[in-house]
Amino acid sequence: MFQPKFNFTNRIVKNLTFIAESRAFIINAPLVPEWEVSLRKDAILRSAHSSTAIEGNPLTLEDVSALADGREVMARRKDRQEVLNYLEALDKVPEFSFHEPLTLEDILKIHKIVTKSTLPYPEDEGTLRNRQVRVVNGLGETVFMPPETSVVPQLINEFLDWFNSPKMTEIDSVIAAGLTHYELVRIHPFIDGNGRTARIMATLVLYKSGFDLKRFFALDDYYDHDRPSYYAALQTVDPETVDVTEWLEYFTDGVTASIKTVRDKVLGLSKDVKILKERGQVALNDRQMKIVEWVITEGKITNRDVRNIFGLSNRAALDEISKLIELEVLKPEGKGRSIHYVLV
């Protein structure tokens, strides 16, 4: 069985503490459930964009959003297909999470989804590699030589024995996701698509463990932001000892950054809305949330502000404000032309 080697450094412990506290804050945030849909969609789009961009896909986040909505994007067929494949793989994460135990066939299916119609040889999609590969940098220099092809089936089976064992569930879910990510990259079981498959599997771990059931977090954003650091972190592991402590420091840094982004967004919307703390959860739509964000930033909002922000008529702007007054989120101040609205 695969036996991960690592130590809990101060950096890892500090990250895990922040992650746990932030996750609890986000999960219990009052602005739900309509806002959850927006957060979830944003995380999925960013994950698909970042994970494919790491591998050299040139499509922008806007392009990815358009593809997700079924709109046409002017790009190479392969680039479009890679993004659509990753979106499909993310969509199937909850389905795969119910597979007990997770099998080699499941991993091959995930790889098949990730690489469908994108590899030079279709027979390489959804199958373990049958020849040696190497990882090169932009100069064509070999930066990583994976294990020999002949030992890949054994290594994958040993990994799956661990993945499906009680030992895996006893580990912190963030650490388990980081270990899964690294071990699949290290084994490099496929001709291509190893990084994307590993990142889907890490996402699966977080969902399966209940850490990210609402799917708010886009971990790939952190890796894409500084790709050299991502590849450098993967290479910190000594091939002799296979101690992944430094990699886990980097990985937990990434989860910390991702969860902080979501936490700040949630905090910005809910920190000053006193009525939400008293009454619990209040569902706001996208337009209402933008109005609340504006008030938090500017201290107040007027009918003219709402008209300008959304391009609404005077009557429609007043209707939006009235809804928030009914929800006891906003209250009017002043009279006549000086009337404006603040948080309750």
What's the rounded mean pLDDT across residues 22-51? 81
pLDDT-wise least confident of 132-146, 160-174, 179-193: 132-146
The b/e string for 119-152 (b: 16+ C-beta within 10 A; e otherwise) is beeeebbbbbbeeebebeeeeeeeebebeeeeeb
State the chain's mean pLDDT as an integer: 90
pLDDT (tens digit per residue) in 290-327: 888 788 778 899 999 999 999 999 999 999 999 999 98
Please name the amino acid found at residue 41: K
pLDDT (tens digit per residue) in 249-303: 999 999 999 999 888 877 766 555 544 545 555 667 778 878 887 887 788 999 9
Decide which of 3.40.50.80, 3.40.640.10, 1.10.10.10, 3.30.70.260 is the CATH code for 274-343: 1.10.10.10
Please state the pTM of the whole predicted model: 0.79
Q: 10-269 in CATH: which number?
A: 1.10.3290.10
Using DSSP, state whether 335 is helix, strand or coil: coil
Taking phi over 0 as left and psi of -120 to 50 as alpha, with beta for the rest, 328 belongs to left
Q: Which residues contact residue 113 at a Cβ distance below 8 angstroms, ignoring those fewer than 6 apart? A: 85, 88, 89, 92
Matching residue, tokens 């297909």: 81
Domain range summary for the chain, segments of one domain joined by +? 10-269, 274-343
